[in-house]
């Protein structure tokens, strides 16, 4: 399950929820006690608005901490976000409702069943849609890979899609890659076995060659394949894997 943990994006959600809470409180008026004039309903709406903003801001921090620790998200954690949000929101709005600013006379069970439950039913789908939209705001990261040699300064950083193939060259491996659509090569002191272990998307086609399958173009003949600007031999023992591409 995906999550956008960025605080700034979730603060936007908190702001939108605050706007919704203000409009809901002012126009829907979920409770009415005696002569509640315009000034009172403005205070009530602002209070509900602040509660929505503050509650979701706490949620944004909470989920950021959790996500940073475990680097994953699931349905259980997603549900916990809603629970934390409604607990904080209920506490703040109830104490605000009972304060001298509103003079509410509902006890907590009635406040919860007649106000909070109704708000929960209405606002949960809104939160769900906003959180789904927030995922789309995550900037797409370009997938870089770093191929390291035995020496600290012996490495190559390229985009995953730029890597064409890796070939054995005695105590070195020769990296074939694209740079501005031009074929380049680089020797790095490493082994083919180590490269294959570190980058499991590579496919072995020969005891001396690994390829990035996204660059596979066609079969030249029964023992040779064409990649992007490279032609390589294929061993019989590795042929079946390639035939499935």
SS3 at position 154: coil
Terminal Cα-to-Cα distance of the chain (whole angstroms): 29
Q: How many domains does the chain have?
A: 2
Which of 224, 206, 212 has the alpha carbon at shortest distance from 168?
206
Residues 195 and 122 both lie in one domain: no
Residue 83 lies inside a defined structural domain of this protein: yes
Residues 131 and 152 both lie in one domain: no
Which of 192, 184, 243 has the alpha carbon at shortest distance from 213?
243
Q: Which residues contact 19 (CB under 8 A, 6 or more apart)?
A: 49
Q: Which residues contact 158 (CB under 8 A, 6 or more apart)?
A: 144, 145, 147, 177, 179
Q: Which residues contact 168 (CB under 8 A, 6 or more apart)?
A: 174, 191, 192, 207, 208, 209
pLDDT at site 152: 82
Q: Of 84, 114, 136, which residue constitutes the final position of a domain?
A: 136
What is the C-alpha radius of gyration for the chain, rounded to an integer number of angstroms? 30
SS3 at position 218: strand
pLDDT at site 151: 85
Whole-number Cα distances in Å, 84 to 68, 77, 81, 136, 207: 18, 10, 5, 24, 56
Residue 2 lies inside a defined structural domain of this protein: no
pLDDT at site 32: 78
SS3 at position 178: strand
Tokens 């031009």 label which residue? Answer: 182
Ramachandran region of residue 212, left (φ > 0), alpha (ψ -120 to 50) or beta? Answer: beta
pLDDT at site 7: 94
Hey, what are 32's tokens? 């009415």
pLDDT at site 242: 84
Contact 115, 73 (CB under 8 A): no
Residues 120 and 181 both lie in one domain: no
Residue 1 lies inside a defined structural domain of this protein: no
Residues 28 and 86 both lie in one domain: yes
Q: What are phi and psi of 213, to 5 degrees?
A: -60, -20
Q: What are phi and psi of 121, to 5 degrees?
A: -65, -35
Per-residue pLDDT of the chain (245 residues; tens, 9 = 90+): 889 999 999 999 999 999 999 999 999 888 877 778 888 899 999 999 999 999 999 999 999 999 988 888 999 999 999 999 999 999 999 999 999 888 888 999 999 999 999 999 999 999 999 999 999 888 777 678 999 998 888 999 999 999 999 999 989 999 999 999 999 999 999 999 999 989 989 999 999 999 999 999 999 998 999 999 999 999 998 888 888 76
Residues 31 and 111 both lie in one domain: yes
Residues 90 and 184 both lie in one domain: no
Residues 154 and 124 both lie in one domain: no
Residue 129 lies inside a defined structural domain of this protein: yes
Residues 29 and 132 both lie in one domain: yes
Residues 131 and 173 both lie in one domain: no
Residue 92 belongs to domain spanning: 7-136
Contact 166, 202 (CB under 8 A): yes
Q: What CATH number does residue 221 fall under?
A: 2.40.50.1020
Sign of dihedral through CA atoms 128, 133, 137, 138? Answer: positive
Residues 33 and 96 both lie in one domain: yes
pLDDT at site 144: 87
């Amino acid at each position: 399950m995906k999550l956008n943990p960025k605080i700034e994006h979730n603060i936007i959600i908190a702001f939108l929820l605050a706007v919704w809470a203000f409009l809901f409180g002012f126009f829907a008026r979920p409770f009415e006690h005696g002569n509640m004039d315009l000034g009172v309903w403005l205070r009530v709406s602002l209070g509900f608005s602040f509660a929505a903003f503050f509650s979701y801001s706490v949620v944004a921090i909470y989920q950021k901490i959790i996500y940073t620790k475990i680097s994953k998200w699931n349905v259980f954690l997603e549900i916990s976000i809603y629970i934390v949000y409604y607990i904080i929101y209920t506490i703040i709005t109830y104490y605000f409702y009972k304060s001298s600013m509103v003079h509410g006379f509902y006890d907590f069970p009635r406040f919860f069943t007649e106000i909070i439950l109704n708000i929960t039913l209405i606002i949960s789908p809104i939160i769900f849609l906003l959180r789904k939209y927030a995922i789309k705001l995550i900037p797409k990261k370009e997938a870089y890979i770093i191929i390291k040699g035995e020496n600290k300064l012996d490495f190559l950083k390229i985009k995953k899609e730029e890597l064409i193939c890796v070939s054995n060259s005695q105590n070195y491996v020769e990296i074939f890659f694209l740079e501005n659509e031009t074929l380049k090569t680089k020797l790095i002191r490493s082994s083919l076995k180590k490269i294959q272990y570190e980058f499991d998307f590579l496919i072995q086609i020969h005891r001396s060659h690994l390829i990035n399958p996204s660059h596979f173009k066609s079969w030249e003949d029964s023992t040779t394949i064409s990649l992007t600007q490279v032609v390589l031999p294929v061993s019989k023992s590795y042929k079946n894997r390639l035939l499935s591409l």
